[in-house]
Structure 1
Amino acid sequence: MKNLKYQERGKVGIISLNRPETRNALSLELLQELEDLIRKISEERLVRVVVIRGEGRAFSSGHDLKEILDRHPIEVEKLFNQCYRAMLAIRDAPQPYIAMVQGVATAAGCQLVAACDMAVAAKSALFATPGVKIGLFCYTPIAFVSRAVGRKKAFEMGFTGEFITADEALQFGLVNRVVEDEKLEEETMKLAESVARYSLNVLESGKRFFYKQLFMEDFQALAFATESISLYSSTEDAKEGIRAFFEKREPMWE
């Protein structure tokens, strides 16, 4: 892969955006590689959690503007459709995805953070959706950011284009944890490994359930949950987990 690196540490996969000279701008080629890699990881099922990080000093500065300037809208749409497919691959994946954020995460880079299931940020990290400043509103990033943070804060981010700090990102729900810069990798891996000890089948069914019920009415969601928990109670993973609980031992997941 030209624009990505990938390694596995036990049951955790680590994808590194590898265009540090552009602050890991999300080019069409990078996004194609990213979708292909995510779908390969999903199919192989060798890891249970995946971390996305950036090489160098930034997480991602967003789309490569050289691929937008003076291009026909059909060409630009191809870029954004590929971004759509990469984000969808994260959502479709059985594994939870964790963004590990250092430096800046702006525009589509901020969108990628919001699209991941969880995020850990270095204390010095900064987040923004600054398209308004260059005459092209951050339409696609705001679609995800506004679903991660409160509506008023998302509107402010989109219409001022100003940075928010990691602590603000934590306060408004864009990230799960803020840690000292030098402990970013250590703390992200701790979170990843705390999830990776569980059955991938359970993680997959839980992730699919979580996003499907998220925007349902309360009792519609509860009815769906009741159906789901009843169905999955008969799986081998559930039987093994409950037996292990009564036998006071660790469950033996696949």
Structure 2
Amino acid sequence: MAEAAAGIEEPVRAPVTAASAGGILTLTLSSPPANALSIAVMRALKGALDRARDDAGVRVIVLRSSEKVFSAGHDLKELTAHRGDADRGRGFFETTMQLCAELMQAVVRHPKPVIAEVDGVATAAGCQLVASCDLAVASETARFATPGVNIGLFCSTPMVALSRNVARKHAMEMLLTGEMIDAETAHGMGLVNRVVPRDALNQTVAKLAQTIASKSSLTVKIGKEAFYAQAEMGLSQAYDYAARVMVENMLARDAEEGIGAFIEKRSPEWKDA
């Protein structure tokens, strides 16, 4: 504080920080106190995801937060500030929602698995971000909500991710009531994979990430892409598509190596090809 008073500026905190080790890239939302998904935060997160796409050193991505709030969703103060624009904010609102849609799809379409490590509250677009991740592990103190209805703004975009993760009636209950649910309820709905004690959260996510990172990255990439693609198809089309994927996968060197290693009772040596 003394330095600030003397006119020395404190360093600007990056809205998203990145750390990589052992093939695992950890992206931390670092925009206190609410880790709101402002334009700056969304651009920083999407930029980090884009850079990781072609980084062979990244095999798994973990998304977490540095605060007690995982993410409270869109920055309502930032949005409100543009109501004074000539178009009453329409242009800025459109930019925000488009960027959010691009960010969520960047998570789903990313060739690397993305795991949400959720400690604290994840609401509105923050809940949407959790639902968009491939896997999610929550602490016992985590809570979730799509509370837009409480402020006259239905959580229409969070609805897209939420309704693709939980049963329709569960999704509608969250969307229509805006009520907070605890981690165990979220687990029962299928919004998160596991609920663990807070002091075991980081270790649990690290172990899960390490397990996935030990697989062939080519195989994981093929599987993730196919999972989301077939989910949008009819049954017959999905089987036809999945069969073609399996054939191409069988021709990959890692499939040849993995099957050979299994038959020979040895550990496979992945080439990611």
Normalising by structure 1, we get a TM-score of 0.97
Corresponding residue for 1:24?
35
Question: Once the two structures are superposed, what CA deviation does each residue of 1:21-41 show, in whole Å capped at 9, x if it has no partner?
Answer: 2x1111101101111110100
Corresponding residue for 1:109?
126
SS of 2:267 mapped into structure 1:
coil
User: By how many angstroms is 1:108 displaced?
Assistant: 0.3
Question: Once the two structures are superposed, what CA deviation does each residue of 1:146-193 show, in whole Å capped at 9, x if it has no partner?
Answer: 111110011110111000111011101100000011111111111111
Once residues 50 and 82 of structure 1 are traced to their aligned partners in structure 2, the CA distance between those partners, rounded to angstroms, is 20
Corresponding residue for 2:62?
51
Corresponding residue for 1:164?
181
Question: Once the two structures are superposed, what CA deviation does each residue of 1:178-211 show, in whole Å capped at 9, x if it has no partner?
Answer: 0011111111111111111011111111011000
AA of the residue aligned to 2:124: A
How do 1:215-230 and structure 2 match up within 5 A? 215-230=232-247
Identity %: 43
Once residues 49 and 64 of structure 2 are traced to their aligned partners in structure 1, the CA distance between those partners, rounded to angstroms, is 14
Corresponding residue for 2:18?
6
Corresponding residue for 2:44?
33
Once residues 21 and 187 of structure 2 are traced to their aligned partners in structure 1, the CA distance between those partners, rounded to angstroms, is 27
User: By how many angstroms is 1:216 displaced?
Assistant: 1.9
Once residues 45 and 163 of structure 1 are traced to their aligned partners in structure 2, the CA distance between those partners, rounded to angstroms, is 39
Once residues 175 and 66 of structure 2 are traced to their aligned partners in structure 1, the CA distance between those partners, rounded to angstroms, is 26
Once residues 29 and 201 of structure 2 are traced to their aligned partners in structure 1, the CA distance between those partners, rounded to angstroms, is 16
Once residues 110 and 235 of structure 2 are traced to their aligned partners in structure 1, the CA distance between those partners, rounded to angstroms, is 26
Corresponding residue for 1:207?
224
Question: Once the two structures are superposed, what CA deviation does each residue of 1:121-148 show, in whole Å capped at 9, x if it has no partner?
Answer: 0011100000011111111111111111
Normalising by structure 2, we get a TM-score of 0.90
Corresponding residue for 1:195?
212
User: By how many angstroms is 1:20 displaced?
Assistant: 2.1
Q: Unaligned regions of 5+ residues in structure 2, if any?
A: 1-12
Question: Once the two structures are superposed, what CA deviation does each residue of 1:67-106 show, in whole Å capped at 9, x if it has no partner?
Answer: 2212511111101111111112112211010000011000
* Superposed CA RMSD: 1.1
Once residues 79 and 170 of structure 2 are traced to their aligned partners in structure 1, the CA distance between those partners, rounded to angstroms, is 27
Once residues 92 and 133 of structure 1 are traced to their aligned partners in structure 2, the CA distance between those partners, rounded to angstroms, is 31
Q: Name which of 117, 121, 144 aligns with 1:127.
A: 144
Which structure's relative contact order is higher, taking Cα pairs within 8 Å and 6+ residues apart? 1
Once residues 216 and 82 of structure 1 are traced to their aligned partners in structure 2, the CA distance between those partners, rounded to angstroms, is 26
Corresponding residue for 2:10?
none
Once residues 33 and 125 of structure 1 are traced to their aligned partners in structure 2, the CA distance between those partners, rounded to angstroms, is 24
Q: Does 2:255 align with 1:241? A: no
